[in-house]
């Protein structure tokens, strides 16, 4: 199994014998060189790597990949509803297999792709630039307006005006909260390194703490299902709880009907389930993209924040099910241990 506490393999050396092929590997290397995604060409029979591109070398932490089985560098899981995912370079990715024949040999081109639900790095960079403008334009006038509202709420100003001022204050509070979200998104995008923890986290207990806090805040029930044997995962607990809180906030806001929000904890996985309306089809494939929302008082960056926070601890989040009757399920996939 991969060591997820490091992104390099300092003790790795080339196998004693390289695979014997009847063709020029340089041609295959040229074939995949321009791919922006980690790409490998492997032997169809023994799954040994024949060549890889720069993105693959970078994710593996070494260029000495030829002759090793692909499973040396990736951890694979299969989900009956969601398909195959692989853990590579501190994140969960889709995997695409394309068999082909070359010089009489049966080969497979393997490409690792970010799930379509998640925003690309280019998109997040563009949003980061937009954030800088928004923060500069809005913070100063809103701070001034809040100061005037505080003065007008003086006890000398009684009567009906206080009712209107409360509404103005509420609206300003919502604007400030949205600006704080933008500020956090800006700060997170400047964090490039994956954070690691030296101590294991009891993820069931940690999830229950977040759920209990949400129940105390809203008075709405949240059911937490934990396994008898507590799963322990090496991760950054504060970051994990931050992301889980975002998912729970979202779930409680949208939950409808008699069934309460559920949090299900399994080994390396945390599911958050609500029984509200299904996410509209036109935005379901972009729910983690910034500024995608159906609520008038939301910026639509909460799920984007959850995605980025989890990326910083080597985890990923996916929309696993979008079904009003059986539940809308968001699932956190933690690093394999």
Averaged over successive runs of 10 residues, the pLDDT of the chain (337 residues) comes to: 37 42 77 92 94 94 93 88 87 92 91 80 68 65 71 64 68 74 67 66 93 92 91 89 92 85 92 89 81 64 86 90 89 88
CA triplet 264, 295, 321: central angle to 5 degrees?
30
Q: What pLDDT does 22 receive?
A: 57
Contact 317, 307 (CB under 8 A): yes
- The DSSP letter of residue 243 is H
Q: Residue 18: what pLDDT? A: 44
Question: How buried is 139 (Cβ within 10 angstroms: 0-12 exposed, 13-18 middle, 19+ buried)?
Answer: middle
Residues 32/102, Cβ–Cβ less than 8 Å: no
| The token pair that represents 186 in the structure block | 């800006």
Looking at residue 281, its pLDDT comes to 83
Q: Environment class of residue 246 by beta-carbon count within 10 Å: exposed (0-12), middle (13-18) or buried (19+)?
A: buried
Q: How crowded is residue 15: how many other Cβ atoms within 10 Å of its Cβ?
A: 12
Cβ(38)–Cβ(55) under 8 Å? yes
């Amino acid at each position: 199994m991969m060591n997820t506490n490091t992104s390099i393999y300092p003790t790795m050396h080339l196998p004693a014998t390289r695979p014997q092929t009847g063709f020029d590997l340089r041609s295959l290397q040229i074939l995949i060189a321009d791919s922006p995604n980690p790409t490998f060409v492997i032997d169809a029979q023994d799954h040994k790597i024949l060549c890889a591109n720069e993105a693959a070398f970078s994710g593996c932490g070494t260029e000495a990949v030829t002759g090793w089985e692909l499973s040396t560098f990736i951890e694979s899981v299969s989900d009956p509803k969601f398909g195959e995912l692989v853990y590579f370079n501190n994140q969960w990715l889709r995997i695409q297999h394309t068999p082909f024949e070359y010089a009489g040999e049966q080969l497979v081109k393997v490409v690792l792709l970010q799930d379509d639900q998640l925003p690309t790095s280019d998109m997040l960079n563009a949003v980061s630039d937009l954030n800088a403008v928004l923060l500069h334009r809005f913070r100063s006038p809103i701070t001034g307006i809040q100061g005037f509202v505080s003065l007008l709420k003086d006890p000398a100003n009684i009567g009906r005006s206080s009712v209107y001022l409360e509404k103005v204050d509420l609206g300003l509070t919502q604007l400030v909260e949205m600006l704080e979200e933008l500020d956090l998104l800006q700060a997170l995008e400047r964090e490039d390194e994956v954070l690691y923890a030296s101590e294991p986290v009891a993820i069931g207990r940690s999830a229950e703490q977040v759920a209990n806090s949400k129940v105390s805040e809203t008075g709405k029930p949240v059911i937490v299902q934990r396994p008898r044997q507590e799963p322990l995962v090496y991760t950054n607990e504060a970051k994990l709880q931050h992301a889980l809180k975002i998912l729970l906030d979202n779930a409680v806001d949208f939950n409808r009907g008699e069934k309460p929000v559920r949090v299900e904890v399994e080994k390396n996985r945390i599911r958050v389930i609500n029984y509200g309306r299904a996410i509209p089809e036109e935005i379901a494939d972009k729910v983690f993209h910034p500024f995608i929302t159906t609520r008038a008082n939301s910026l639509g960056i909460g799920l984007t924040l959850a995605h980025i926070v989890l990326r910083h601890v080597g985890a990923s989040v996916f929309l696993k099910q979008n079904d009003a009757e059986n539940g809308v399920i968001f699932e956190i996939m933690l690093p394999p241990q």
